[in-house]
Chains A and B, each alone.
Chain A
Amino acid sequence: MSARVLMTGNDAIGEGAIRAGCDGYYGYPITPQNELTAYMARHMPENGRVFVQAESELAAINMVFGTAAAGKRAMTSSSSPGISLKQEGISYLAGCQLPAVIVNVQRAGPGLGDITPSQADYFQATKGGGHGDYHQIVLAPASVQEMHDLTIRAFVLADRYRTPVMILTDGRLGQMMEPLELSDKPAPRVPQKKWALDGAKGRKPNIIRSLYLVPGQLEAINHALQDKYRQIEQKEVDYEERLTDDCEVLLVAYGTCARLCTGALKEARAAGRRVGLLRPITLWPYPYARLRELSTRVRQVLVVEMSSGQMLEDVRLAVDGTTRVDFVGRMGGGVPTQSEVLRHLCRRTNGRCRDQRKLHNRGRK
């Protein structure tokens, strides 16, 4: 067990990537993830790995494509507008079945927006963003420790399933500092990659492609991808639960919002309210089954997000009408407060499931 060090979330991702054996990091400056790029600029060469500041986020994701095609561990990072640029590349990674890690330190949008934190890229991350029928695994850290741990896990999952994996976090987690324990284990073993392009010496040449022009071929590829996604859904769902054994109200949140829900949870419980929390750690695959199960035993599911309500839709899918679903959200860089969450808990209702998406009143004091 190693000593505790104080690091920013961004740096913790960087250190996690290095300890996971990341071979190449390709980045481009954008706030609020610049600390990560600077960290990699300093430490990758020190560790004999590759660092390139690319000419754009678009170039960076294509450099990742190359490194992944060569059978090595590749990572890039950016924030919302830059992640939009990477969508084509992510679709290509998925279509070519290449492993890669992409970090999105979300900031408020749409457009150029602001450098304040946000969770409004959930749809982009979990439902596509890039074109075509594909998924990337999406991991959502809620602490600096998880920024480090989940980055290591991301490389393992990417290699295990030959798929892009996204770390979906936000500017608050990225720039805050807190103590963590760095992994002192050796880098996770890299599986054999017979498909990689490293020179066809003594073997048939490999091709990395996502273009399939023979009728029926691409459809078969898509079926294979879908089979893979079903496997991932069966095996890789991850979440954390608190006080869900006896709760009447279930909070559902991830990342920064989950964290502030832990404070709301404590305060609510101290006031005698039986509140629990489900914190998805994988946003794709989403813990639909567990959420469905829990929703049958609670009076209210309350979703907390820094968005207009994106994960809210997955919650509604899971709950499927079995209980009321309410929402507390802030947009454009606003962060819900503990008191706002508690106010929504304590509201007496007539039991009908109300449409909570009237955000023009939300967040205004």
Chain B
Amino acid sequence: MLERILIAGTGGQGIVLVGKLLATIAVRSVRHVTFFPAYGAEVRGGTSSCEVVLSSEEISSPVSEVFDSMVLMNQDSASRFLPKADQKGLVLLNASMCRRPAGLAPVMVPASEQAVKLGDIRVANFIMLGALLASKPLVPSHRVEDGLRQFFSERSSDVVDMNIRAFRHGLGLVSHGSSRRQTA
């Protein structure tokens, strides 16, 4: 197994959080895992991206030149990273903030819009995580919710529940075909 995942968006969208969470959960079932954050100079409003690598063999670099999956949450990130996208790779775009690109077949997930409907725009990242894992079962799904609970164990149960709800919603969006995989 070798899965190189890029997650990117604007500062404040919880990009690093979702990457760390995915990496933390993956440690239990994948032999080699790395997580690497990259920050823009601004803490809020600048670009935020991170890479998660899952591999059955030793990982020689936490930073990759090619990605098997990309999760892009705003237009700036899409413009910046889509040129690196592989035809063979999976691309998930936050349809609420990204234009449909030509020449690729991304999965368009209306994450921000759905997050608002759920009650908090900040959980768009968990919706995207659900969509990613529904498209590619990288970790056993029963682990994810346990992982979510453990990761947020010091927060209020409202926060935990909202995040889980968002995650499940994202899972459902892709499974039910509400997010359209656009054919090129």
A interface residues (Cβ-Cβ under 8 A, vs B) = 4-6, 172, 175-179, 259-264, 266, 335, 337-339
Q: Residues of B within 8 Å of A, CB-based: how many?
A: 17
The listed residue (A172, A259, A263, A266) touching B36 by CB distance below 8 A is A172
CB nearest neighbor in B for A263: B60
The listed residue (B32, B37, B63) touching A335 by CB distance below 8 A is B63
A-B complex: 3 closest residue pairs judged by Cβ atoms: A263-B60, A177-B35, A176-B62
Given contacts A176-B36, A177-B35, A178-B33, whether A6 and B23 have CB atoms under 8 Å apart is yes
B interface residues (Cβ-Cβ under 8 A, vs A) = 20, 23-24, 27, 32-37, 58-63, 65
Given contacts A6-B27, A176-B35, A177-B35, whether A337 and B59 have CB atoms under 8 Å apart is no
A175 CA to B36 CA in the complex, in Å? 7
Q: How far is the CB of B125 from chain A (nearest CB, A)?
A: 18
Q: Which residues of A contact B61 (CB under 8 A)?
A: 259-260, 263, 338
B35–A337 CB distance below 8 A: no
CB nearest neighbor in A for B38: A175
B27–A179 CB distance below 8 A: yes
Q: Which residues of A contact B59 (CB under 8 A)?
A: 178
Given contacts A6-B24, A6-B27, A337-B65, whether A177 and B34 have CB atoms under 8 Å apart is yes
Q: Which residues of A contact B20 (CB under 8 A)?
A: 6, 177
The listed residue (B27, B32, B58, B63) touching A172 by CB distance below 8 A is B63
A262–B34 CB distance below 8 A: no
B35–A178 CB distance below 8 A: yes
B60–A338 CB distance below 8 A: yes
Q: How far is the CB of A330 from chain B (nearest CB, A)?
A: 13
Q: Which residues of A contact B35 (CB under 8 A)?
A: 6, 176-178
A172–B24 CB distance below 8 A: no
Chain A binding surface, main DSSP class: helix
A264 CA to B23 CA in the complex, in Å? 24
Q: How far is the CB of A142 from chain B (nearest CB, A)?
A: 10
B37–A6 CB distance below 8 A: no
The listed residue (B36, B60, B65) touching A262 by CB distance below 8 A is B60
Q: Which residues of B contact A264 (CB under 8 A)?
A: 60
Q: Which residues of B contact A177 (CB under 8 A)?
A: 20, 23, 33-36
A338 CA to B62 CA in the complex, in Å? 12
A sample of 5 cross-chain residue pairs with beta-carbon separation below 8 angstroms, ordered by A number, consists of A6-B20, A177-B23, A177-B36, A179-B33, A339-B65
CB nearest neighbor in A for B31: A179
Q: How far is the CB of A9 from chain B (nearest CB, A)?
A: 10
B60–A260 CB distance below 8 A: yes
Most buried by A among B20, B24, B58, B62: B62
A262 CA to B33 CA in the complex, in Å? 16
CB nearest neighbor in B for A5: B27
A263 CA to B60 CA in the complex, in Å? 5
Q: How far is the CB of A304 from chain B (nearest CB, A)?
A: 12
A266 CA to B61 CA in the complex, in Å? 13
A262 CA to B61 CA in the complex, in Å? 9
A259 CA to B36 CA in the complex, in Å? 15
A227 CA to B151 CA in the complex, in Å? 52
A290 CA to B113 CA in the complex, in Å? 61
Q: Which residues of B contact A263 (CB under 8 A)?
A: 60-61
Q: Which residues of B contact A178 (CB under 8 A)?
A: 32-35, 59, 62
Q: Which residues of A contact B60 (CB under 8 A)?
A: 259-264, 266, 338
Q: How far is the CB of A224 from chain B (nearest CB, A)?
A: 43
Q: How far is the CB of B59 from chain A (nearest CB, A)?
A: 7
Q: How far is the CB of A342 from chain B (nearest CB, A)?
A: 12
A176 CA to B16 CA in the complex, in Å? 12
